[in-house]
Structure 1
């Protein structure tokens, strides 16, 4: 085995928008490659056929699915962020929760100083922790 990479499948044509958003929020992050569907290909022209991006060194792959599925993202898979300050945690939570849904609002749940779990506007689940 060469490596393990989380893979995100977007169904609303917003993979590139989500990648841009995530890489703008987390320092040391970048979109590393994008291949788009062209005219007369399986997906909508200009949407993401395949892309890679990194968040703080962790590589992800994603696509805009050219098929609609009966499933989407669930909180059973989440991106877990260990924050270095309360301000960083509060800022990230505040941005990620916009048009999203709180699963566990920011609070002290006893296992860390501060913790929050949410689904963002794209349906991706995030856990933010201040140890």
Structure 2
């Protein structure tokens, strides 16, 4: 398992906490800002207003837990934005970012737009 694989297998909050804790160049004020952002908008505003200081968080015990959410194994598109006959793209379902790459004009953006449209009912590119 690579370092990147290990980071993907852990919750993002844990990765960020470990990174800011290990960075000796970051001031405590910057670390408090990062902690407040992780807690949410209210905690950040309270920190900026001088009302409170975020509490240090313990790393979660994510070992053996199943990731929350859904993962796509495959997307099939037909008759959508330049895709004529049915075309299928197999994906590797896992937490993190999925990168679909190909030569220019091979349809990777069309798959992304089709997924966006299926999930949201609209397309950012079509809004304007």
Q: TM-score normalised by the shorter chain: which range applies?
A: under 0.3
Larger Rg: 2
Indicate the structure whose relative CO is greater, using CA pairs within 8 Å and at least 6 residues apart: 1
Point out the structure with the larger strand share: 1
TM-score normalised over the length of structure 2: 0.26
